[in-house]
Structures are given as C-alpha cells and as structure tokens.
Amino acid sequence: MQPTATVLIYSDDANTREQVRLAAGRRPASDVPEVRFIECATLPAVLKELDHGGIDVCVLDGEAAPAGGMGVCRQIKDEVFQAPPVLLLMGRPQDAWLATWSRAEAAVTLPVEPVEFAAALASLLRSRAALSA
C-alpha cells in the first residue's frame, strides 16, 4: 500500500472542509495509509486537480454553491477516465436517492459525524487499494 493517500475535498465552505479534515484525522483507520488533503472551493479547481491525477478519493459537499457536489459527482463519473471513488456529504438523509443518482460510492450527512465519516472514508480507501493491487 502506498505511504499516503490523497483525498480531494470540495466545498465552498471552509468550515465544512475543516470538519472533513478533523473527522478523518491523519489516518481514518489503522489499516489504511495516512491521508493528505487537497482542498478545492470551486468546480474548475476540482477538475484541474483531477486532470493532474493521483487523487485516491473525492469528498464532495452536496450543499456547495454554485456547483453542488451531487452534480459535480455525476460530471466526474461521466467525464474523468477511471474517476476516483466519491464520498458525498448530504444535507439530509432523505437525499440518499440523489447520492445514488450522482453515482457516489458512499454518502454521509452533514454536519460531519467523525466516526461515521472516518469509517466511510476508510472503506473507500480500502476498495481503491484493492483495485490498485
């Protein structure tokens, strides 16, 4: 397994990005690598980082404006070759069907609950590592 995993966080809200970083910590689970974060506040920044490659997981804020994370997720899945798995942050549990529509691999609700978030992120990192092996 690689020594670090790169997690892209997309949200127009700096507080949401901070919640994600704090919930994940340096390592979301003992059997996954330490994480390094790339923060993006705009869709063009997300697409630029994905073009550079090396992103292991994307965390997208479904409540971001003007481009919501659900639409960004769907765009990534349609346009980025071998797109990384996506963990979607939703405003309400009732929006789970929208997460499915967007083709996100996992979803959690806002505000970020650290144990739930770390478990979901670790699961995506494990599946990404298994695909790479």
Q: Read off the pLDDT band of 133 (50, 70, 90).
A: low
Quote the mean pLDDT of the chain.
95
Phi and psi of 61, rounded to 5°? -85, 110
Q: Which residues pair with 3 in a beta bridge?
A: none
Task: Give domain limits for the chain.
Answer: 4-132
Q: What is the pLDDT of residue 18?
A: 98
Compute the distance between CA of residue 42 and CA of residue 49 in angstroms, rounded to an integer.
11
Q: Is the pLDDT confidence value at 42 over 80?
A: yes
Interval 1-19: pLDDT, tens = 458 999 999 999 999 999 9
CATH class of segment(s) 4-132: alpha beta
User: Average of pLDDT values for 105-126?
Assistant: 97
Which of 128, 131, 74 lies closest to 100 in space, CA to CA? 74
Q: What is the pLDDT of residue 129?
A: 78
Interval 69-80: pLDDT, tens = 999 999 999 999
Percent residues over pLDDT 90 in the chain: 89
Compute the distance between CA of residue 122 and CA of residue 64 in angstroms, rounded to an integer.
23
**Between residues 55 and 132, which one has the greater pLDDT?**
55
